[in-house]
Amino acid sequence: MNNQLELVAKSYDKGIEFGKKGIDLYNDLPGYITNDPDFHLWTHDSINGDSGSEQIKDYLSPQLNIKFIDLGCCLNLMFQGYDDWPSTYHGIDISNKTIELLNAYIQKNKLSIGSLYCGSIHETPFDDNYFDIGACIGVLEYFEKDFVQKALIEMHRIIKPNGKMVLDIPNLGNPVCRIMMLIEEHIGRPDKFDMQSYEFENMLQNYFVIEKVDVGGMIRYFLKCKK
Query: Contact, 140 vs 199, CB < 8 A?
Result: no
Predicted confidence at residue 46, as pLDDT, reads 61
As separate numbers, helices (DSSP H) first and strands (DSSP E) second, the chain gives 9, 7
Q: How many domains does the chain have?
A: 1
End-to-end CA distance of the chain: 28
The residue segments making up the domain with residue 133 are: 2-225
Contact between 26 and 183 under an 8 Å Cβ cutoff? The reply is yes
pLDDT band of 45, cuts 50, 70, 90: low
- Compute the distance between CA of residue 57 and CA of residue 54 in angstroms, rounded to an integer: 5
Describe the strand order of the beta sheet including 115-118 as a list of residue ranges: 115-118, 88-93, 67-71, 131-136, 159-170, 218-225, 208-215
Q: What is the mean pLDDT of residues 36-44?
A: 88
pLDDT surpassing 70 at residue 97: yes
CA distances from 192 to 4, 17, 18, 151, 177 (A): 9, 24, 24, 15, 13
pLDDT at 53: 85
The per-residue pLDDT of the chain, averaged, comes to 94
Q: Could you give the count of Cα atoms lying within 13 Å of 161 in the half-sphere of its Cβ?
A: 1
Residues 139-168: what's their mean pLDDT?
Answer: 98
Provide the CATH number for the domain around residue 46. 3.40.50.150
Residues with Cβ within 8 Å of residue 205, at least 6 apart in sequence? none
Does this model's pTM top 0.85? My answer is: yes
Q: How confident is the model at residue 49 (pLDDT cuts 50, 70, 90)?
A: low
Calpha distance 186→196 (Å, rounded)? 23
Contact yes or no for 92/155 (Cβ under 8 A): no
Q: What percent of the chain has pLDDT over 70?
A: 98
Torsions phi, psi for 154 (to 5 deg): -70, -40
